[in-house]
Chain A
């Protein structure tokens, strides 16, 4: 097939051997690239119930089909693994320059298994792999490690690395790709468990496109559409947190103070006319932005490097601050000091933490501390109260090292911490399946509550990404959506998940989903591959890949019982603001789940039926005996 290499690279860290494995066209037609083949190979190369931190776990990395082809915002690569945090399907998408090198390397994915006896860096030149001793980088932060590797081997290599949190097997650690993170679900710990510190890669081949002229013409068209789109300027000037103020004032769905509040009450109740919250990008972006920091081939970069030049956090320089971080290291900790948030963001990136999980875990600890549930004698003098940024910074550093009582308690996220502490502290542990919730107060966004409850990787906002549909009330084919109703949400979430999956297959950034929608994808695919698919085919590929991810979880025993919401969402209504009184009752959740499984063609316990799997042509991969029905 054109546009792909029909080959993957398998690497065994135990034996230090690498082999090229041919892949036939049928696999690409069924799964395409990116998250598609990364899901397929993860499923095939692992068995159920393996130890996620053992040598049998597998990491697959594959760039989306549009990566390296000049498609604007075709920048994302997929990483899959069994998640040590959730015990289920682990996925992290990242705007990786390393993915662009892989697209030029002669292979479509790398599949890493085994465990090295010593810290190792993989150096990959096209299809050739070297195993390099990484002892000298042990304990170094992820960004410094990559800088040193590029200094030593040359700037043409593109890189990724883990920081201390990954080395210390923190289940909320991710992998840094030149200041973009494959953050969620604990991939950093999987790298750490394999003694894999870093990967550097360079490719110098040219992808053979089916119709290069057409591709050039389409790319030009999309660059213009994106340039003219009304959202582009706002994204470029203020980043992904552009709608922060509106979330607080008009929707009341910006969770704060560990979800005790539905908007940032202590800030917004005291602002005078014309004043802004200090974590509002309209306040900080013009002040601190040094330059844009785009993902590969992004023509509407939301990413920016910001720098704090004065004050006690002077010297802080970080790619950010994204919307989610305004929540996880800002509102949920009750911190409205943007310089402190930037500092914590920098620590998370360098030490290798998923900034959402790390922040929400500290918020849990702040609530536990204020409730008197933590052992104050062992806190080493840290007053971990809401709003205390310096305490949060200190705790974050301890978490990376797994140091002291508090560092050890928090290093693996809220689920592990609440289990260790007991005392009903799980009632304010904000996670689903172990993964901490993103910055949408789903008590007032019920379709989004369903999306988080059912997502295969735990509380993930981008598996379906319905927050825009729910909060705006309309988008693409959706109209008249009522965020406070629990009706018809199953159908909404199902279609949105399948569509979002296709973005992760092609490697398109979801921040351009209101530009490409679904309709933009087939002709780009066809110009690259020479296949002739239509929009319905694209949705089917998305649905197929999503069902295979679900089957990964079913193989692990993760079924309906795990499709839940945090206690706070089902029991504590939003106390104040526009969404006052909103929460998701247990009945509403069950109603939405029933409808969602029906829309999906799954059984009541959430298992895909044999008919569904057959219709998606998945029975050659999955074991039919674990399917439902007949």
Chain B
């Protein structure tokens, strides 16, 4: 599955724009964080195929996930 990461979260995935990981079984977003090595507390918004979801939702290998940190600025 493709996980797009933004902002400060990139530093946990080797400064890449996205990572690809394989999840043979459907898994919750929270489990995904530990698999990908991203600390969950830094993730503010999780989106599955462009739609916001909560961290207890289950995702599949063919979903595209975006992880967005807190936004303060503007």
Binding site for B on A (CB under 8 A): 229-231, 233-235, 237-243, 245-246, 249-250, 273-274, 282, 302, 322-324, 438-440, 461-462, 465, 467-468, 471-474, 511-514, 578
- Most chain A Cβ neighbours within 10 Å, of B6, B66, B68: B6
From A234, A282, A440, A471, name the one whose CB has the most chain B CB atoms within 10 angstroms.
A234
In the complex, the answer to whether A242 meets B45 with C-beta atoms within 8 Å is: no
In the complex, which residue of chain A has the Cβ closest to the Cβ of B54? Answer: A474
Question: Which residues of chain A have C-beta atoms less than 8 A from B68's C-beta?
Answer: 243, 246, 250, 472
Q: Mark B30-74, 1 if CB is under 8 A from A, else 0.
A: 000000000001101101001010000000000000101111111
List the B residue with the shortest CB-CB distance to A246: B6
B72 close to A473 (CB less than 8 A): no
**What band does the interface of chain B fall in when counting residues whose beta carbon is under 8 Å from A?**
20 to 34
- Choose from A235, A250, A461, A511 the contact partner of B6 (Cβ within 8 Å): A250
Q: Is the CB of A274 within 8 A of B52?
A: no
CA distance in complex: A465, B16 (Å): 31
User: Which B residues lie within 8 Å of A438 (CB)?
Assistant: 74
The reply to whether B16 and A274 form a contact with Cβ atoms under 8 Å apart is: yes
Q: Nearest chain B CB to A187's CB is how many angstroms away?
A: 21
Contacts A237-B8, A274-B16 given; does A468 touch B42 at CB 8 Å: no
Chain B residues near A462 (CB, 8 Å)?
A: 74
Contact B74 A231 (CB under 8 A): no
Given contacts A461-B74, A472-B44, A511-B72, contact A234 B17 (CB under 8 A): no
A selection of 22 A-B contacts at a CB cut-off of 8 Å is: A230-B44, A230-B70, A231-B70, A234-B69, A234-B72, A237-B8, A238-B7, A241-B73, A242-B7, A242-B8, A242-B73, A243-B71, A243-B73, A245-B6, A250-B4, A250-B47, A250-B68, A274-B16, A461-B74, A473-B52, A511-B73, A514-B72
Partner of A250, one of B41, B66, B70, B74: B66
Docked CA distance A540–B73 (Å): 26
> Given that A230-B41, A274-B16 are known contacts, is A324 also in contact with B74, CB under 8 Å in the complex?
yes
B8 touches A234 (CB 8 A): yes
Q: How far is the CA of A273 from the CA of B70 in the complex (A)?
A: 24
A243 partner, pick from B6, B50, B52, beta carbons under 8 A: B6
Q: How far is the CA of A235 from the CA of B73 in the complex (A)?
A: 7
A474 to B54, CA, bound (A): 11
Beyond contacts A245-B6, A439-B74: 8 other A-B pairs, Cβ-Cβ < 8 A, are: A234-B69, A241-B73, A245-B7, A322-B73, A440-B74, A468-B71, A473-B52, A511-B73
Check if B7 sits within 8 Å of A468, measured CB to CB: no
Closest residue to A465 on the B side, CB-wise? B74
Please tell me if the beta carbons of B74 and A233 are within 8 angstroms of each other in the complex: no
Chain B residue with the shortest CB-CB distance to A233: B8
* Nearest CB in chain A: distance from B69 CB, A: 6
Q: How far is the CA of A379 from the CA of B19 in the complex (A)?
A: 50
Q: Which residues of B contact A472 (CB under 8 A)?
A: 44-45, 68, 71
> Chain A: which residue is nearest B16 at the CB level?
A274
Report the Cα distance A231→B74, complex, angstroms.
Answer: 13
Q: Which 5 A-B residue pairings sit nearest by Cβ, starting from the closest?
A: A240-B73, A231-B70, A234-B8, A246-B6, A230-B42
A302 to B71, CA, bound (A): 12
Q: Are B17 and A274 in contact (CB under 8 A)?
A: yes
Q: Which one of A234, A471, A474 lies within 8 Å of B7 (CB-CB)?
A: A234
Distance in angstroms from B67 CB to nearest chain A CB is 10
Contact of B69 among A231, A274, A511 (CB under 8 A): A231
CB closest residue in chain A, given B39: A230
Residue ID in chain A nearest B6 by CB atoms? A246
CB distance from A247 to the nearest CB of B (A): 9
Report the nearest B residue to A439, measured CB to CB: B74
Enumerate chain A residues within 8 angstroms of B73, measured Cβ to Cβ: 235, 239-243, 302, 322-323, 511
Chain B contacts for A249, CB-based, 8 A: 6
Contact B70–A234 (Cβ < 8 Å): yes
A499 to B22, CA, bound (A): 44
- What are the residues of chain B within 8 A of A440 when measuring CB–CB? 74
- List, in ascending order, chain A residues with CB within 8 A of B66's CB: 250
Contacts of A241 in B (CB 8 A): 73
Q: Which residues of B contact A439 (CB under 8 A)?
A: 74
Q: Are A471 and B71 in contact, with the CB atoms below 8 A?
A: yes
User: How far is A241 from B6 in the complex, measured between Cα atoms in Å?
Assistant: 13
Cα distance A438–B71 when bound, in Å?
16
Residues of A within 8 A of B16 (CB): 274
For B1-27 the 0/1 string (1 means CB < 8 A from A) is 000101110100000110000000000
Residues in B whose Cβ lies below 8 Å from that of A231: 69-72
- A467 and B74 contacting across the interface, CB-CB below 8 Å: yes
